[in-house]
Amino acid sequence: MTGHRDRLSSPSRRRRTGSTASGRVTRRRTGPGAGAIPLAAILAGGLTGLADAGRLRAQELRTISYSRQVTDEEFIEVEVQYGIGDLTVRGGAPGLLYRARMRFHEQLATPTAVYEDGRLEFGIEPVEDMESEGLSELPSMHLELPSTVPMDLTLFFLGGTADVDLSGMPIRALDLTNGASESTVSVSEVNPERMTSAKINVGVADFTANGLGNLNASEVEVVAGLGVVTLGLDGEWPSDSHLSIGLGLGAMRIEIPASLAVRVQRDSGFFSSFVAARFEKDGDTYTSDNWEDAGRRLEIDLSATLGSVEFIWLP
């Protein structure tokens, strides 16, 4: 799609209700998350401003929709930056490149929607000097991404809630940052593309990921700060997969299906908590008791500072 541009507009410039739009919302950005509050600032100061400004008067919310069908795209890059409100992400119907429905208040949030040269950007970001008086409803975005076009996918959640279903989506690389939102990521069907890497960074959020084996990734990296994290290791792990986990002050629950064998190399601080039933310990290495018999095996490197880690075996 070289040289093609969809310029998708903000209602502040042009009111629009159709499913396809032209125009553009511009913003300053220097990298993933640059238009929102940095993750380090969240950890240092919390989200007081977002909490105060996170409610909207329903009669002042506006809704805009964008969509595009697949033409000759063989690969795209997708970046979603979501600063406040409720986000859902799903795979779309065959032939659909993207479909987005945004509902927001212009005095609270700024929408982003750009497609150019095989790169797709969507987001809703909080504006400066937000006011909370009389607000009652959060912004929201529902996004459908291609089910037939391979993509590199970058997701940045700052606040609110996120429900992301990546089941069966053709993803070659995943970079997910969850600042302080309550988020769930599900992968119930195997990724048809072999993923080179999957990176998940969790700040102070409650985060749940199910079906990590279905990402079809050679390398999965999870870094968690102060949040409560649940990792479901169900799914079809490739034979050479590796999971790297770094935990700060938070709590992590790792759910293991009975059909998966796990070997954990532990590098944890003195004050960290580690609960691992059905594992045999040899120094800093913990090997599940089904290692010799299981059809699938997963190597895990675990580093924990002051947090707690619990391994739970599923039926």
Tell me how far apart the alpha carbons of residues 123 and 151 are, in angstroms, rounded to a whole number: 17
Ranking 26-30, 59-63, 172-176, 272-276 by mean pLDDT, the lowest is 26-30
> Which of 10-14, 284-288, 291-295 shows the highest mean pLDDT?
284-288
Query: What residues form DSSP beta bridges with 301?
Result: 244, 265
pLDDT of residue 270: 57
Examine the pLDDT at 221 and tell me if it is beyond 60.
Answer: yes
Domain locations along the chain: 1-48+62-147, 166-315
Give the whole-angstrom CA distance, residue 132 versus residue 117: 39
**Cα(11)–Cα(308) distance, integer angstroms:** 47
Say which residue, 113 or 227, is predicted with more confidence.
Answer: 113
What local confidence, expressed as pLDDT, does residue 21 receive?
36
How far is residue 273 from each of residues 26, 240, 266, 305, 306, measured CA to CA in Å?
47, 28, 12, 9, 7
Q: Is the pLDDT of residue 130 over 70?
A: no
Structure tokens at 230: 């649940």
The mean predicted confidence, pLDDT, of the chain is 82
Quick: pLDDT tens for 236-263: 999 889 999 999 988 999 999 999 999 9
Mean pLDDT, residues 117-130 taken together: 83
State pTM to two decimals: 0.81
What are the Cα distances from residue 309, in Å, to 99, 131, 230, 232?
39, 39, 10, 13
90-94, 146-150, 222-226 — which is least confidently predicted? 222-226
Residue 9 binned pLDDT confidence (cut-offs 50, 70, 90):
very low
Q: Residue 305: pLDDT band by 50, 70, 90 thresholds?
A: confident
pLDDT at residue 135 in the model: 57
pLDDT at position 36 is 36
Confidence class of residue 54 from pLDDT cuts 50, 70 and 90? very low
Check residue 13 and give its pLDDT: 35
| pLDDT for res 120 | 97
